[in-house]
Each structure stands twice: as C-alpha cells, then as structure tokens.
Structure 1
Amino acid sequence: MKETPEQRSRTMRAVRSRDTGPELAVRRFLHAAGLRYRLHDRRLPGKPDVVFPSRRIAVFVHGCFWHQHPGCPASDRPASNTEYWTRKLDGNVARDLRRQHELETEGWSVLTIWECQTRDPTALGQLLAQIRDCPQRGLR
C-alpha cells in the first residue's frame, strides 16, 4: 500500500540519527563481548557511532535506506519526488565517502555495519573479529 505524503512525512520525521535500534544492537553485542568504546566522538569527522580510541577504529552503523546499501532491498528509493530523493541520498553516500577518507587520512580504521547486518549474528561476529584484529595504536 502506498503512503500518502503526510504519512511519509510523519515517518521521516520519526527517524533518529543516534541511538537507533540497529546501533543499540551493535553496542549491546560489542559490550557483551567485553569491548568498551566511546560514542559519537564529535572531534572526529562524521561523529562515528562507536569509537575505539586506543585502536583508532571508528565504526559506523548505517541505515540501508539512508546510506544506500548496495544490493539491499531496503535501499529502494521512493517513486515520488525522485529529484529530491536522488539529491538527498546521493549526497549522503558522497558525504559518507568523504568522512571515511578524512578518518583514514588521520590514521583511523573505518568499519561499517549495515542495518540489515545487525540482525545477523555472523555479520556481528565478523565485525567483532575485525575490531579485535586491529592492533592497538595508542591514544591520540
């Protein structure tokens, strides 16, 4: 069933930028695995969702729609107002790439986990393995 413009507007206003369900799932998983981290460090480009300062690892938990997860059915674009959505979503992807490059230039490892992967224990385990495999680099 197609949403009315008012329904879509209400839905989009309810979308949060932090402490989202997928982000909380990742944080609970990492905490249960014994890892400790910082949240949304404003000093870093893009304010990564989860930060491991001693390892210089920044983790982004991206929503499949908002950050356009390649190949994911949840990343389908709305059929109405296509000019707006193309500009908005392409801009999000370009900004993500810029922030990732900025962090890597500053010596950070950048990991991304997608919203659809936060429900997959295998994907969460792979994220944990990537974090644990990164050597400790000392505090900045």
Structure 2
Amino acid sequence: MHFVTGGAFNGKKKWVTHFYGLDHTPHQWHSFYNEKEVPDFTEKVVVLEGIERYVRTLLEKAETPAGARLLFKKKLAQWQAEDRTIVMIGTDMMKGIVPMNAFDRHFRDAAGWCFQDAAEAAERVDTIWYGVSETIKEEKK
C-alpha cells in the first residue's frame, strides 16, 4: 500500500496520476468525496481518494474516535491482504484551528489516528505540498 497525504488542493491527485502513469495504465479510482462505501476492487491499481471522508463515515457508524479507528484498522488489514497496488490519498487536517463542534473534534482526532495507522501499514508514504513530494517512508520489498 501507498499512503499519500498533504494539504487540500496541494496537487495530491495530479502527483499520484503522474507517479503511477495513470493516464496510460488501467486503474480504478474511487473518491470518498462522492461515494461513502468502499467499492469492490476490479483493477491491479486502486486509488482511494478522500480517506479522511471515509474516516468520517466510520465515525458516524462507530460514534467514537476509538471505534472509528478500530473499523479503519480492520479495513487496512483487508487492503493489505489484496494482491494489488492500493494508493490511499488523504487530506491533512491537523494544521488548522481545532473545531468548536464536538463531532468535528472527534473527526479530527479519528482522522489523525487513522492516518497514523495508514502510514504504519503502508510500504510507502509521501507528503505533497504545493505539488512537491517528499517521501517520508519507503520499505523495500
């Protein structure tokens, strides 16, 4: 798995498209901004965009940040077992004002924990800021 994170509108989608040559490679692109549920995987390369929105959906189901994290860890284990390249794209929300609304604070907490879990599970982690990548983890297979 590959986890790509960075600020909103900082070029994560463009970077992933270029890095994997997706203009010329069969792939499946799923956006959690448009759909809440995880799709059935059909291609060898699967991009899951908007991981933070998926975490929000899990929080709505689980009702606690710890519960959402547990559901996310189960899903990560399933994705790790897949014989395909799974790229998770998540927008970093940790560098802003802490929300006043309790649910939004729980969402921010859950997203931070789940991003830590995604980074731990991934073989590679890249941050994208202003279209520039920085590899912060890369395990050799």
Structure with greater Cα Rg: 1
| TM-score normalised by L of structure 1 | 0.37
Say which structure is richer in strand.
Answer: 2
Structure with bigger RCO (C-alpha 8 Å, 6+ apart): 2
